[in-house]
Structure 1
Amino acid sequence: MKKSMEIPDCQYPSGPVLVQPSGPTPKHRLYLSNLDDQKFLRFSIKYLYVFREAVPIDRLRSALSDILVHYFPLAGRLTRVVSGGGSEEGLESEEKLEVDCNGEGAIMAEGFVDISANEFCSRPPNRSWRKLLYRVPDASTFLGVPPLVIQVTHLTCGGMILCTAINHCLCDGIGTSQFLHAWAQATANPLSDPQVMPFHDRTMLKPRKPPQNNFPHPEYGVDLIGNNSSSSLSLNQFLLSQPLTPISLTFSSSHILHLKKQCTPSIKCTSFEILAVHVWRAWAKSLELPSTLQIKLLFSANVREKIKPNLPQGFYGNGFVLGCAETPVNQLLASNPYYGIRLIQLAKQSLHDGYVRSVIDLLEEKGSIPDMSASLVISAWSRLGLEELDFGSGKPLHMGPLTSEIYCVFAPVVGDLGAINVVISVPEGVAERFKHYCIKGFEEREEKSEIEGVNNGERYCEIVF
């Protein structure tokens, strides 16, 4: 009989604590740029780490308290912008957010779960992992959740699982990695200062006056090519109509090299570009989309060095915009991967300073949200150094997302710099087709192992081949 994929419930020996900065911090309102407070970023980035050996909770708390002196906005609270020209009866904006840097503190919870690190790592991602992140009671709104929530869960083997939820309005992937490494360094070496000091100010990303929307922005559904609104709506309804199945697929460096060799003519490309095209094609095939439907691949692109002047070292806010490759389904599927790679590369080339400024101005005028109606969204975590985190007891056995229901995540593989773990959720009715198209062409080259489980009517799959 197969073991259940669901992990046991967490036991909490005591309630969570508020970890406040260990020293005085500025008390003011921090401006959030239009790239920061986009509506589609109003959630927390949730990371999950598994460590062979636990770090004493007191050391983690003390180091966090020290590092929050430097990253004091993470100890504050998100709030709506108050406007009113200095009047005591100022009005709250329904749209714009800022951070009240009040030093209230981050939440840290401590738990225990009856499972070992090896047992946990042998199970594929599933929704029971949510038990490993403390749920803030009475937080009925996005603003009710502190910017930083942490749970340390002790395992039967003496290891620990560390889950962090960092508000995306304050940090992007580069920023979260910078903060986590600073915390890890402070834990392992309490007397050391952060290797990179955080840069808090985001005013260099303010919109122009007047705003200048100088470019088409297909990532936000502005100036779309063609008219596929009804088909896109049908696809969106289909994607929302079925339970989602989380799938994890690990591509080794040899797999990625094999994919690159399929390009005709040969093209110089990154691992992200070839794997993104491969997953995009498998996604479109598995959904059996209408051949003329215009579909999009949206991906986060770092613009710290695209902006003029460049964003300062240590900037940990949102310094990315969405790149957008788009094409009719039939052209993507009928063409060699070379075609999709060129679409991604051309999209990257368009992300210059003027384009980024146009995005900021567009958000100022319209508060647009990304066009998700017929889009696959990929967030790349595989080159951020997230898997190198060391709190003094060694690097993690596993690093990845806590959940993958919103985006496809390209996560790092611990111990294999060239490998990428693709974590994605698809409607359960297409899961088998999606897996088939992802691994098609590899079966004769290597053996593959497949783990499947059933939990509360949902199927969870992990493939390593």
Structure 2
Amino acid sequence: MTTETRNSLEIPDCHYPNKPLLIRPDHATPNHSLPLSNLDDQKFLRFTIKYLYLFEKAFCVEALKLSLSRILYYYYPLAGRLRAKEDDDQSKLEVQCNGEGALFAEAYADFSAQEFMQFCAKPNRSWRKLLYKVEGVSFLDAPPLVIQVTTLQCGGMILCTAINHCVCDGIGTSQFLNAWANITSNPDSNLQISPFHSRCALKPRCPPQVTFAHPELSKFTAESGDNGHVAINKYLQSQPLVPISVTFNPSQILDLKRQLVPSLKCTTFEALASHTWRAWLRSLNLSHLLNVKLLFSVNIRKRLWPEMPQGYYGNGFVLGCAEASVKDLVTRNICHGVKLVQHANLLGS
């Protein structure tokens, strides 16, 4: 890595000695269409979940390919292709389980693992160079699973994965990656959790029934009005966006929770969510008359009756929505915000 590159915090381009490969399941898999659930098929999930793993010592790339082929036998929809359904509803998606394969790219980059750590202080757009870009008109043109293994100058390695969010949520993605890691390090081992493929566990009622209000789906509330919603959007669009990463250490989290005890017990997420929400609003200096919302994911795997099957790796979350006026959030203590988050979490189930 040159001095100029170090100073700019822009990682060098990756060099690809060969074209990417398609890694297929090591045995024949079922050939069928897998309909997605309504949770999978939400428009805002049409992107990929990306992970980056840094290793000071590289793994054998051929071993990674072999273990990937083995694990794709079990998670065969990830070796298929997403497409629009062929019936009268072209907006719905399904997975064509055809064993076409996951895309696997090998690359080399001229920097060390230690040098890469210099880029971790805050998000960096140049990290995108570490994941092979699939050319296409839409996200349907890319395989559900894309992987790049980048060998570093020091003998280390960076592993990047992109998994289509319509097929897996964060928990499902973690389940797959853990299974792949386990079978890589222990080739003779069996799966600890068998994947559950069918999305029928989240089949909607017929006819649909809406039994309570869904504020997470509305753009504004009666108190703020359409003008308030437009005003907030206009204000945010006028501000320069600067990426930053903030880490709360255990001592800081404990200080937040001490403001709540003994009157209120809460989780780390609830304390941080309330604190971040309030701090964000204070920084914006918005009108106290406006209503604002905080949206967050609520895992429903164990909240349904019956519970979702073990190994379900599709999207199993809904949006919790906490809502309040700016005045209530910025002038009252953190307990108020935590109670709002806790209430929204309960409604999300």
TM bucket (normalised to shorter chain) is: over 0.9
Q: Tell me the CA shift for residue 82 of structure 1.
A: 1.5
The answer to whether 1:134 aligns with 2:132 is yes
Shift of 1:74: 0.4
Partner of 1:35: 39
Q: How far off its partner does 1:140 sit?
A: 1.3
For 1:268, the aligned partner's letter is: K
Pick the aligned partner of 2:54 from 50, 55, 59.
50
Answering whether residue 144 of structure 2 is matched by residue 147 of structure 1, we say yes
Q: Secondary structure at the match of 1:33?
A: coil
Matches within 5 A, 1:2-401: 3-83=7-87, 91=88, 93-123=89-119, 124=121, 125-137=123-135, 139-221=136-218, 224-263=221-260, 266-352=263-349
Is the 1:116–1:157 Cα contact (8 Å) retained in structure 2?
Answer: yes
User: 1:216·1:223 contact (CA, 8 Å) conserved in 2?
Assistant: no
Give the aligned partner of residue 397 of structure 1: none
**Deviations for 1:125-183, whole angstroms, at most 9, x for unmatched residues?**
2111111111002x111211110011111111111111111000011111000000001
How far 1:318 sits from its partner (Å)?
0.5
How far off is 1:243 after superposition? 4.6
CA contact (8 A) 2:299 2:317 kept: yes
Instruction: Give the strand-richer structure, 1 or 2.
Output: 1
Distance (whole Å) between structure 2 residues aligned to residue 50 and residue 238 of structure 1: 38
Question: For 1:112, what is the secondary structure of its paired residue?
Answer: strand
How many angstroms does 1:189 deviate by? 1.1
**What is the rounded CA distance, in whole Å, between the counterparts of 2:219 and 2:18 in structure 1?**
51
Q: Which amino acid aligns with 1:6?
A: E
Q: For 2:222 and 2:309, locate their aligned partners in 1 and report how far apart those are by CA, in whole Å.
A: 36
Aligned to 1:460: none
Deviation by residue 1:369-410 (Cα, 9 ceiling, x = unmatched): xxxxxxxxxxxxxxxxxxxxxxxxxxxxxxxxxxxxxxxxxx
RMSD of equivalent CA atoms: 1.6
Amino acid at match of 1:71: Y
- Could you state the TM-score of these two structures normalised by the residue count of structure 2? 0.94
**Secondary structure of the equivalent of 1:103?**
coil
**Secondary structure of 1:299's match?**
strand
Q: Which has the higher contact order (CA 8 A, sep 6+)?
A: 1
**Contact preservation (8 Å) 1:79, 1:97:** yes
Q: What secondary structure, in the 3-state scheme, does the structure 1 residue paired with 2:243 have?
A: strand
1 CA distance for matches of 2:336 and 2:284? 20
* CA distance in 1 between partners of 2:12 and 2:236 (Å): 30
**Which stretches of structure 1, 4 residues or more, deviate above 6 A after TM superposition?**
none
Partner of residue 441, structure 1: none
Structure 2 unpaired stretches of 5+: none
Helix, strand or coil at the partner of 2:134: coil
Q: Which runs of 5+ in 1 are unaligned?
A: 84-90, 353-465
- Count of residues paired in the alignment: 343
**Retained in 1: the 8 A contact 2:223–2:290?**
no
Secondary structure of 2:294's counterpart equals: strand
CA shift, 1:321, in A, is: 0.4
Q: 1: distance between equivalents of 2:221 and 2:236?
A: 21
Cα 1:234–1:222, aligned 2, differ >3 Å: closer, same or farther? closer
Identity percentage of aligned residues = 57
Q: Structure 1 length as normaliser, TM-score?
A: 0.71
Q: Could you tell me how far 1:31 is from its partner in structure 2?
A: 1.4
- Partners of 1:160 and 1:253 in 2: CA distance: 30
Instruction: Tell me the CA shift for residue 224 of structure 1.
Output: 3.7
User: Post-superposition shift, 1:265?
Assistant: 6.2
Distance 2:219 2:199 in 1: 26
Amino acid in structure 1 at the alignment position of 2:110: D
Distance 1:265 1:332, change over 3 A: farther
Structure 2 counterpart of 1:5, one-letter code: L
The one-letter code sitting in structure 1 at the alignment partner of 2:145 is: L
User: In structure 2, what is the Cα distance between the partners aligned to 1:243 and 1:94?
Assistant: 38
Task: Considering fraction of residues, name the structure with more helix.
Answer: 2
Judged with a 3 Å threshold, the aligned counterparts in structure 2 of structure 1 residues 242 and 111 are, in CA distance, closer, same or farther, namely: farther
Rate the CA distance shift 1:227–1:243 in 2: closer, same or farther, 3 A: closer
Residue type of the alignment partner of 1:187: T
Q: 1:304, 1:319 within 8 Å by CA — same for their partners in 2?
A: yes
Q: Say which SS state the counterpart of residue 153 (structure 1) adopts.
A: strand
Structure 2 CA distance for partners of 1:336 and 1:264, relative to 1, 3 Å: farther
Q: Which amino acid aligns with 1:80?
A: A
Distance 1:12 1:292 in 2: 55
Instruction: Output the CA distance in 1 between the equivalents of 2:85 and 2:270.
Output: 39
**How far has the Cα of 1:264 moved from its partner?**
6.8
Cα pair 1:30 1:99 within 8 Å, conserved: yes
